Amino acid sequence: MTDERSGESVEGDGTTLRSPTTGDVWEIVVGLEVHAELATATKLFSAAPNVFGGEPNRNIDPVSLGLPGSLPVLNHRAVELAMRVGLALGCEVRPCVFARKNYFYPDMPKDFQISQFDLPLNVDGQLELPSGQIAGIERAHLEEDTGKNMHVGGDGRIHGAEASLVDYNRAGVPLIEIVGRPDLRGAEQARQYVAELRSVLVAVGASDGKMEEGSLRVDANVSVRPLGDPELGTRCEIKNVNSLRSLGRAIDYEARRQVDLLEAGERVAQETRHWDDANGRTRSGRSKEQAEDYRYFPEPDLVPLDPDPAWVEAVRAALPPLPAERRRRLADAGGVAPAAVALHVERGLDALALAAMAAGADPARVLNHVEHNLAVDGAHDLDAGAFAELVAMETGGELTATQAKQVLADMVTSGRSARDIASERGFEAMDTSELDSALDAVIAEFADDWAAFCAADDPGKRKKLTGFFTGKVMAATQGRADGRAVGEALTRRAAG
C-alpha cells in the first residue's frame, strides 16, 4: 500500500513503515482504549432505563440530569458484568473507589463524569488473539457514559456550529473502559484485538458489542519509533473511530503523518486527534489552551467498592468458555490451527460445528460449511444432527458440493431436513447408468473434442477438456451429476 502524499509504504506484515527517501524502517505502536456499554436494564447510578435509540430525553431522571440534591447509587448488576469482563481478561479484581473527572461540556450536565482513576476495579490482564499473540491489559474500570450532542447550524461539525442539541438518554449508562498496553503493532493487530475483545464481551454477556450503535467505541493511541528502538515515541490519541475498517485506516494514516513529521525534523505533539472518515485523515482536536486537565478527586457521594471474595469467585466460576479456549477446542476437533477457526468462533457457530462433528460429520466439510455457507441469519438455530446428516450425504456422494450448499441454505430458512429438501429438488444421487447415458450422448455430440481428449498427453490440455465435458454433462443433467464422478468416468473411458 502506498500513500500518494509521502510515498511511504506499509511493510509486508503491516507492523512497520519504510521511508522511500531514507530507507528507514519505523515501527507502528498502538495501544487501544475500548469503551463498552454494559448490558444492564438501568443506568450505572440511577434507575432510569438503559436502552438504545428512542425519542430524546425520555430515559432521564434527576441523577441523569445532575439535578441539585440527587445522589448516585451503584448498580449491582453493572459491577457484576464489569467483574466478568475483568476476570475473563485474567485481571485481578481489587477494592476500588469512584472519582470525579471534571470538565466543562454540555454532554455531562453536572460538569463531571463519575469514573475510576487511581484505584480501578480490574487491573493487569491480557487478551489472547487468534494468532496466539498476547496483548496486555492495564486496567478495566467502571464509568458512566455521557449524553449525546448534535451540532446544528454551520456545517454540522463542531467547528462552525451555531448551537448544540443535547439528549441525555445515554448520560449515566454504565461503561467499562478497557485500557490496553501499547503491545500492538500496526492496523491489522489492532483490528484483531478489537474483534477478539468484542467476542469476549459478547461471550460473557457483558455487552452486545455493536460498534455501529456506539455500544463499543475505540480510541487508538498511536506512535512510531525507529524499528528496534526500545523507547516509545510521542503518541496521539485518535478518537471517533466507529468501525474496524476506520480503525485500520486511521492507524495507517496517523502513522504516516507522524513519520512525515519526524523525517522533516519536526516533533509529534502529544494531543487528541479526531478521525475524519469522509476525508480519510485525522485532525487536531482541542487547542493547547484547552489541554486536558480533569482535576480528578474521589467522588464523595459514593462509598468504596470492595467486592466480597466469595462473590468474585462465584462470578469467575460462572464464566462461560472464552473464545481462545473455544478456538483451541474446535481446532483440535477439526485437526487445524486455532487461527483457522477464528471466524467460526467469532460468529458463535463453534458449538454447532463441534456437535455436528460429534454426530459423525466430516470435520473438514463441517468447518468449510460454517466458514463459507453459514454466515447468515438463522444459522445459530440450525440443528446439529440435521447439519451432520447433510454433511454425511455430501461425503457419501449423494449430494455434490454445490447441491449441499443449496440444501444447507434451504435448511436454515425452512428448518426442513436435508433429505426432504434434496428429494424435493430432485437432488437424488444419479445412478451409474444415468451418468453413463448422459456421457454417451455428450461424447456422440462432441466427437472431435472427445478424440482430442483421448489423444491429449499434455495434462493442461486434458484438464481443460475435462472441464469442458464436465460442463456439458452438468448441463445435460441440470446440475445433478457429481463433478468428481464425471471426471473419473471420463478418465476411465479414455483409458479403456
Partner 1 sequence: MTSRITADDVVHVARLARLSLTDDEVTTFTDQLAAVLDHAADVEALSIDDVPPMIHPWPLRNVMRPDEVGATLDRDEVLAHAPATEEGQFRVPAILGDEP
Give the binding site for partner 1 (CB under 8 A).
40-42, 46-49, 55-62, 65, 73-79, 97, 102-106, 111, 150-154, 158-168, 286-287, 289, 293, 295, 298, 300, 302-308
Smallest separation (angstroms) from partner 1 to the CB of 418: 44
In the DSSP assignment, the letter for residue 289 is G
Q: Which is nearer to partner 1, 49 or 136 (CB)?
A: 49
Residues 6+ apart with CB under 8 A from 493: 439, 443
199 phi, psi to nearest 5 deg: -60, -40
Smallest separation (angstroms) from partner 1 to the CB of 75: 5
Q: CB atoms < 10 A from the CB of 231, how many?
A: 7
Q: Which is nearer to partner 1, 205 or 307 (CB)?
A: 307
Q: Which is nearer to partner 1, 46 or 258 (CB)?
A: 46
Smallest separation (angstroms) from partner 1 to the CB of 45: 9
Smallest separation (angstroms) from partner 1 to the CB of 53: 14
Smallest separation (angstroms) from partner 1 to the CB of 91: 19
Cross-strand pairs, 334: none
218 phi, psi to nearest 5 deg: -125, 130
Q: Which is nearer to partner 1, 78 or 422 (CB)?
A: 78
Rounded CA Rg of the chain: 29
In the DSSP assignment, the letter for residue 374 is -
Q: Which is nearer to partner 1, 47 or 269 (CB)?
A: 47
Smallest separation (angstroms) from partner 1 to the CB of 98: 10
Cross-strand pairs, 60: none
Smallest separation (angstroms) from partner 1 to the CB of 332: 38
Q: CB atoms < 10 A from the CB of 320, how many?
A: 11
Q: Which is nearer to partner 1, 23 or 300 (CB)?
A: 300
Q: Which is nearer to partner 1, 41 or 337 (CB)?
A: 41
CA distance 74 to 45: 5
Q: Which is nearer to partner 1, 174 or 180 (CB)?
A: 174
In the DSSP assignment, the letter for residue 305 is B
Q: Which is nearer to partner 1, 165 or 451 (CB)?
A: 165
Residue 280 vs residues 184, 262, 307, 384: alpha-carbon distances, Å: 22, 21, 45, 44
Residues 6+ apart with CB under 8 A from 388: 355, 356, 357, 359, 360, 361, 366
Residue 419 vs residues 164, 207, 237, 443: alpha-carbon distances, Å: 60, 39, 56, 32
Q: Which is nearer to partner 1, 49 or 205 (CB)?
A: 49
Which residue from 336, 419, 405, 410 is spatially nearest to 369, judged by alpha carbons? 405
β-pairing, 216-226 with 184-185? unpaired
Smallest separation (angstroms) from partner 1 to the CB of 146: 13
Residue 290 vs residues 33, 99, 105, 114, 159: alpha-carbon distances, Å: 21, 21, 12, 21, 15
Smallest separation (angstroms) from partner 1 to the CB of 42: 5
CA distance 220 to 222: 6
Element (H, E) at 27: strand 25-37
Smallest separation (angstroms) from partner 1 to the CB of 177: 20
